[in-house]
């Protein structure tokens, strides 16, 4: 492709577009992408890049995966959209059945929306109205974790950890009680994982003891906090949070927007701790990364608190595109791919490769000194860099801010792009989160580039 169209697109983009999480005054212009296949994206000038972050963590089976693309085309030609109040359709019903069959046992009701943030908004509203409908409106508080990220809509921001990103929106945010996260590398209670008993959970218990009767729900990202810094939690933390919620009669909301659909090595992260939350949020990988669609799943008992001849007990929430048939068809095609053993073989192979490369990096004297912490769960691997750690605030809540504002993050991002790999470090945290279609050789290339980047910081 000649470079002229690329300049044209950029000029038009610069004149008219406003990109998310982008300070256009300081970052390089965006790269115009024309095509994707597997782990690769091609720009207008014919350059190609390995998408090692699955395009903001959504792409699972690879870009332009043919079976999902065909399912979308078929559905769009048959029924592209229908109002979902008073009407229903086969793709929505079939997807709900399929999800209920694979979700942690007991999550039997499916409410659709459009993206991760709305899945969380619905979960929070569902939890509040559940108690309201049961005649316990005093249960209106939420407990969330340090370093949490649950999206950018108002209530999702409120339960996310406060940061300079949310500062301007303070008038929109309701107060939330903050429990410790199991950030083992920066243990909030000064323990070591080898000898600890998950004492970081004590704070959650203190909050529940003090405010449990005014608390509607605990919300957390199970096993892996993503935007907060790819923080991997011990399974015992999640299992313990479930026990505490049971003990204090509080709902548990699991935000699996990132962790769902194989990311952590199992279909859902909760399964690794044998936990069934009361409410579970899904989006990102739901459609294989093709279309925006989200799910808030809940236990039947929660649905029953809304099912009534009293119309005031209705869940008053919905979006124009709720249960879009094309999105549901994409999700069904994606789920069919998870039924193939090759998908799980790939997920396991990515996990093995990540583990081997992390071990090599932390075992080699040349690179080990640059790495403060190496962590991995399933297909997600992260390095917390030491060089940057000195500069980065001790308070990890600001890591996301670092990721956006730090010159290190931008410098590394440019290095990766120059080497044909798309990675967006969260400040001092470089992470690899590829589509499952990535080949062994492609993933080795990604790790070679990450290794080379440690020499330039
Ligand atoms: C755990 C988690 N929840 C919610 C969201 C918000 O999802 P969306 O960006 O689709 O609104 C994200 C996005 O990164 C996320 O990682």
Per-residue model confidence as pLDDT tens digits over 124-170: 999 999 999 999 999 999 999 999 999 999 999 999 999 989 999 99
Enter the tokens of residue 410.
């931008």
In contact, 217 and 253? CB cutoff 8 Å? yes
Task: Specify the number of domains making up the chain.
Answer: 2
Q: From the CA atom positions of the chain, what is the Rg in Å? A: 22
Other Cβ atoms less than 10 A from the Cβ of 56: the count is 15
Nearest CA to ligand 1 atom 7: 116
Query: Ligand 1: does its nearest atom lie under 6 Å from the Cβ of 151?
Result: yes
Together in a domain, 281 and 292? yes
Residue 202 lies in a domain: yes
Question: Which of 287, 258, 278, 300 lies closest to 216, judged by CA?
Answer: 278
The parent domain of residue 445 ranges over 3-52+341-454
For residue 233, count CB atoms less than 10 angstroms from its CB and return exposed for 0-12, middle for 13-18, buried for 19 or more: buried
Q: Are residues 227 and 202 in the same domain?
A: yes
Q: Please, which residues have CB within 8 angstroms of residue 62's CB and are 6 or more apart in sequence?
A: 37, 38, 39, 435, 436, 437, 438
Q: Is the dihedral of CA 366, 370, 372, 377 positive or negative?
A: negative
Q: Identify the residue whose C-alpha is closest to ligand 1 atom 3.
A: 150
CA atoms within 13 A on the CB side of 280: 30
Cα–Cα distance measured from residue 309 to residue 456, given in angstroms and rounded to the nearest whole number? 66
CATH for 367 = 3.90.1150.10
Task: Tell if the pTM clears 0.85, that is, is over it.
Answer: yes
Question: Considering only 11-15, 389-393, 449-453, which range has the smallest mean pLDDT?
Answer: 389-393
Q: Phi/psi of residue 265, each to 5°?
A: 105, -20
Please work out whether the CB of residue 117 comes within 6 Å of at least one atom of ligand 1. yes
Q: Which of 279, 284, 287, 294 to mutate to test the pocket of ligand 1 (most atoms within 8 A of CB)?
A: 284
pLDDT at 102 over 60: yes
Residue 244: pLDDT above 70? Answer: yes
Distances, alpha carbon 117 to alpha carbons 150, 158, 256, in Å: 6, 11, 11
262 lines ligand 1 (CB under 6 A): no
The span from the CA of 54 to the CA of 39, in Å, is: 8
Same domain, 423 and 357: yes
End residue of a domain, out of 288, 319, 338: 338
- If you measure from the C-alpha of residue 377 to the centroid of ligand 1, how many angstroms do you get, rounded to a whole number? 18
Q: How far apart are CA 398 and CA 373, in angstroms?
A: 17
- In a shared domain, residues 199 and 260: yes
Residue 61 lies in a domain: no
Distance between CA atoms of residues 453 and 415, nearest Å: 7
pLDDT digits (tens, 9 = 90+) for 322-378: 999 999 999 999 999 999 999 999 999 999 999 999 999 999 999 999 999 999 999
Summarised one tens digit per residue, pLDDT across range 389-441 is 444 444 443 444 444 556 788 899 999 999 999 999 998 999 999 999 999 99
Residue 107 has pLDDT above 50, yes or no: yes
- Rounded mean pLDDT, 442-454: 98
What confidence score (pLDDT) does residue 7 get? 81
Domain containing 225 — which CATH number? Answer: 3.40.640.10
pLDDT, residue 407, reads 78
The domain boundary residue, chosen from 338, 356, 386: 338
The CA distances from residue 454 to 330, 368, 404, 422, 428, in Å, are 39, 10, 19, 16, 11
Residue 35 in domain: yes
Answer yes or no: is 58 within a domain. Answer: no
C-alpha 305 – ligand 1 centre gap (Å): 27
Q: Is 10 exposed, middle or buried (0-12, 13-18, 19+ CB in 10 A)?
A: middle
Question: 123 and 272, same structural domain?
Answer: yes
pLDDT of residue 182: 98
For 84, 92, 151, 369, 370, the CA distances from 365, given in Å and listed in that order, are: 59, 54, 39, 7, 9
């Amino acid at each position: 492709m000649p470079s002229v169209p690329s300049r044209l697109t950029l000029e038009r983009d610069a004149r008219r577009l406003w990109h998310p999480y982008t300070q256009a005054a300081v970052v390089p212009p965006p790269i115009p992408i024309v095509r994707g296949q597997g782990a690769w994206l091609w720009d207008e000038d014919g350059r190609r890049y390995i998408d090692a972050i699955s395009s903001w963590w959504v792409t699972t089976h690879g870009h332009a995966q043919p079976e999902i693309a065909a399912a979308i085309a078929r559905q769009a030609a048959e029924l592209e959209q229908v109002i979902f109040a008073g009407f229903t359709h086969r793709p929505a019903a079939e997807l709900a059945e399929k999800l209920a069959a694979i979700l942690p046992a007991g999550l039997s009701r499916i409410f659709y929306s459009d993206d991760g943030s709305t899945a969380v908004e619905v979960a929070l509203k569902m939890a509040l109205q559940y108690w309201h409908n049961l005649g316990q409106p005093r249960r209106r508080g939420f407990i969330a974790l340090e370093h949490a990220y649950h999206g950018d809509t108002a209530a999702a921001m409120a339960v996310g950890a406060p940061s300079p990103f949310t500062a301007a929106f303070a008038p929109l945010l309701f107060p939330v009680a903050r429990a410790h996260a199991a950030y083992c590398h920066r243990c909030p209670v000064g323990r070591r994982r080898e000898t600890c008993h998950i004492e970081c959970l004590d704070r959650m218990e203190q909050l529940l003891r003090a405010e449990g009767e005014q608390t509607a729900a605990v919300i957390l990202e199970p096993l892996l906090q993503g935007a907060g810094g790819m923080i991997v939690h011990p399974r015992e933390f999640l299992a313990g949070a479930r026990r505490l919620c049971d003990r204090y009669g509080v709902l548990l909301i699991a935000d699996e927007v990132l962790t769902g659909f194989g990311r952590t090595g199992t279909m859902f992260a909760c399964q690794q701790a044998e936990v069934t939350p009361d409410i579970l949020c899904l989006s990102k990988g739901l459609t294989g990364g093709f279309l925006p669609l989200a799910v808030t799943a809940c236990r039947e008992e929660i649905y029953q608190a809304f099912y009534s001849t009293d119309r005031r007990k209705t869940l008053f929430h919905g979006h124009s595109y709720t249960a879009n048939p094309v999105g549901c068809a994409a999700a069904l095609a994606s789920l069919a791919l998870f039924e193939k053993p090759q998908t799980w073989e790939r997920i396991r192979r990515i996990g093995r490769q990540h583990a081997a490369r992390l071990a090599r990096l932390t075992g080699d004297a040349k690179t080990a000194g640059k790495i403060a912490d190496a962590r991995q769960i399933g297909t997600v691997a992260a390095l917390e860099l030491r060089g940057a750690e000195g500069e980065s605030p001790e308070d990890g809540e600001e890591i996301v801010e670092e990721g956006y504002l730090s010159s290190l993050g931008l410098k590394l991002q440019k290095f990766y792009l120059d080497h044909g790999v798309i990675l967006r470090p969260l400040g001092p945290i470089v992470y690899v989160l590829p589509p499952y279609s990535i080949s062994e050789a492609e993933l080795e290339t990604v790790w070679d580039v990450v290794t080379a980047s440690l020499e330039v910081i």
